[in-house]
A and B are shown apart, each in its own frame.
Chain A
């Protein structure tokens, strides 16, 4: 169990926004289909995705996710960052792909 700030530091990911650095991350969910995220992701997990737009924030907030990790060097749109601040969801970014991020996050959380 780690908070989002510890994870961002440990994994050396870019922080686009992090209003609540103490939010605890228990798990991860990797998907680029938001309908799949809505149906299957669990709260308190980080969403690993390439969907860098504000609908992703709405879906994450609906589920109770506290962090989104954008892969493949994708940068969030301005309105995505605004929505993330409002919903207290952190957005991290990396040039790594979803496979690598999933593995590294799982390792950092002691799941593998």
Chain B
């Protein structure tokens, strides 16, 4: 039985609200230093920094999980996580295609830099990435699972952009897990496996909320296995 430290909710300089200094490679390095072994990048509604993140994870020797934090039509934030880069890129393009046609106002919302593993800027995402994507909460859950992803409603105890705040309850759907900021959770989690994630927007946030899983299998499969058997534990945070 193996035990891994996981952190599945993190942003990079691509998210408008993410620090320009939080390059995908910096995220991977910082998380590695903090003892994280399975790490996800989940920018808002866009996966264009996933290739750089995947390269960095491979170089550093940390298991990368390739995801996106989708804003649904109800303005609920949901993490969709994938094992392979092409799966994430395909899903990311699909989500981006459903964003409102509103250009980013960088002065107000922040920059949206796409970069390579060395941190060189390749391009800027033009549309405002905060969303919402034109997809309902229920459909997003269904679609992510149909594409073999893991689906996790984000920060369900937050007063804005959470399923609890925006719908008033947690609909009974086949989530892989739910993410709570507070442990023990202060909202009803209805028996779902609960995880914590850093939701890092700045370098100093990386690794601030981690949790641990136990599984007989390794890598992405360990997440699925541990969530289904609820072998998630918490040991306090940095």
Contact = CB atoms under 8 A, between A and B. Distances in A.
Nearest to A51: B160
Nearest to A57: B108
Contacts of A61: 108
Contact of A35 (B105, B108, B131): B131
Interface-centre pick from B102, B105, B108 (highest chain A CB count, 10 A): B108
Given A51-B160, A53-B160, A55-B130, A35 B109 contact: no
A35 B135 CA distance: 13
Interface size class of A (residues with CB under 8 A): 10 to 19
B102 A38 contact: yes
Contacts of B132: 35
A55 B158 CA distance: 15
B100 A58 contact: no
Interface string A32-53: 0111001100000000000101
A34 B75 CA distance: 8
B75 A35 contact: yes
A39 B134 CA distance: 14
Contacts of B109: 58
Contacts of B105: 58, 62
A38 B109 CA distance: 13
B133 to A, nearest CB: 10
Interface string B74-98: 0100000000000000000000000
A81 to B, nearest CB: 16
Q: Could you tell me the dominant secondary structure of chain A's interface residues?
A: helix
Given A55-B130, A58-B109, A38 B75 contact: no
Nearest to B132: A35
A48 B205 CA distance: 33
B28 to A, nearest CB: 27
A55 B109 CA distance: 8
Contact of B75 (A33, A62, A87): A33
Given A58-B108, A62-B105, A38 B100 contact: yes
A55 B160 CA distance: 10
Contacts of A87: 108
Interface of B: 75, 100, 102, 105, 108-109, 130-132, 160
20 contacts: A33-B75, A34-B75, A35-B75, A35-B100, A35-B131, A35-B132, A38-B100, A38-B102, A39-B100, A39-B102, A51-B160, A53-B160, A55-B130, A55-B160, A58-B108, A58-B109, A61-B108, A62-B105, A62-B108, A87-B108
Interface of A: 33-35, 38-39, 51, 53, 55, 58, 61-62, 87
Q: 3 closest Cβ contacts across the A-B interface?
A: A58-B108, A35-B132, A62-B105
